[in-house]
Structure 1
Amino acid sequence: MGASAALWWPAFTLGAWGTLFFDQLLTVWVIATAALVIVLVQPRGFRHRIRTALALAVPSIWLVLGFALNEATDDVLVILVDAVGIASAIIGIPFTIWVLVRILWPDFGAGVTRSRRAILLIAVAVITIGCYLLGVYQASFLTCEDFEISGNSDPPGCVHAPAN
């Protein structure tokens, strides 16, 4: 539930606006960095510590690459860095939630089979894809005014409410 709740807005904005907003990407960076510090300084043994640390470092790598790039940089590299940023958010959010839960509650999921974990992962993926599609087709059930009243900018293709 937590992963789906955390992923719905980034997936929706990717569908509606065609991009992830900076606050979403930076939120992933903050949480992943905090989890990375916990993984690295944790006194007790932690299975797969190096792989987990490397995965949690991806948002930081993306951020450093973003600083390192300038307008003179090759467009292919810029596209690659943007793709890493999007992947960091979409993949990083549920992964980071999972790592934090495992750190704070080590016995969580004990006794859960791999097939059930796969089902949960598939369910989160389907919900995320559904949220993305809701963003793509937002004009079918939302109006520009819905976005404006919530404090968001109008996504491309939004429709105005009929005049009363």
Structure 2
Amino acid sequence: MAGIGGPAPEDGAAADEGAEPDDAVVGGHVALPSAPPVGPDDIVDPRAKAPRSRRPPVGGVLLFGIAIAMWWPAFTLGAWGDLFFDQLLTVWVASTVMVFVVLLQPRPYPRRALQVALLLIPTLWLVLTFVPADDDENFGVLLGEILALTVALLGIPFTIWTLARLVWPEFGSQLGRGRRLVAILALVVTTVGSYALGANQEHFLTCEDFSISGNSEPPGCVHEPTPAPAP
């Protein structure tokens, strides 16, 4: 029942004058939370550079892999004066697989024909080995020997390089001219050094070292000194 002398209060009106309004709703609108105060440490200098992301040393990993694959053919060439058939056939298998990988790359693929032609060099060497030779002066024999050296000394790094470019397309652009020269120089030094070690194996290896590792004794190797019999 309404009091005398004034209208009845509406339903939902605040009963207590000291009640505070809800923090989430002020005047019928949703109030957003206030931002924390900004201190001097929170001010970002626009001239400051963003931290550079650390790129993985892809070039170093690639160079390491090529050097590991190259040292043994170079060493055998210096120690035995020849290349083992398993080394050449390994390069042929890897390069043949890479030929199909390159051919299956979507267009456009730069220098596709050149890469395929270079990767087919081990196949050409293998075909020439089936050509009958009458004597050692046959042109096919000479060409086969040259291709065998090319397969072993150039086919291995080129095959690995092609694989790296397929896995990391931006790899070539990450290496400047100076880094490429350093990588080539390091590869040449390790390959020539491995050949020199093979050619001078008698100074630090023995025939027994080759025998116990499952290899044949290279020409010019020295045997371990036989201990004198006890008196």
TM-score, scaled relative to structure 1 = 0.94
Question: Structure 2 CA distance, aligned partners of 1:100 and 1:113?
Answer: 19
Map residues 89-104 of structure 1 onto 2, 5 A cutoff: 89-104=152-167
Question: Structure 1 CA distance, aligned partners of 2:121 and 2:185?
Answer: 23
> How many pairs align?
163
Larger RCO, structures 1/2 (Cα 8 Å, 6+ apart): 1
**Partner amino acid, structure 2, of 1:105:** W
| Poorly superposed stretches of 4+, deviation over 4 Å | none
Pairwise CA RMSD: 1.3
Question: Structure 1 CA distance, aligned partners of 2:76 and 2:108?
Answer: 38
The 3-state SS of whatever aligns with 1:110 is: helix
Q: Higher mean Cα deviation, 41-50 or 88-97?
A: 41-50
Unmatched tracts of structure 2, length 5 or more: 1-63
Deviation by residue 1:102-124 (Cα, 9 ceiling, x = unmatched): 11222224321122112201210
Cα deviation, residue 134, structure 1: 0.3
Map residues 8-23 of structure 1 onto 2, 5 A cutoff: 8-23=71-86
Question: Structure 2 CA distance, aligned partners of 1:28 and 1:45?
Answer: 27
Map residues 1-164 of structure 1 onto 2, 5 A cutoff: 1-67=64-130, 69-72=131-134, 75-164=138-227
Q: Which structure has the larger Rg?
A: 2
Question: Structure 1 CA distance, aligned partners of 2:214 and 2:107?
Answer: 45
Structure having the higher helix fraction is: 1
Unmatched tracts of structure 1, length 5 or more: none
Deviation by residue 1:4-57 (Cα, 9 ceiling, x = unmatched): 100000000000000000000000100011111100111243221111110001
**Partner amino acid, structure 2, of 1:157:** G
**Partner amino acid, structure 2, of 1:77:** G
Contact 2:77 2:195 survives alignment (8 Å): yes
The 3-state SS of whatever aligns with 2:171 is: coil
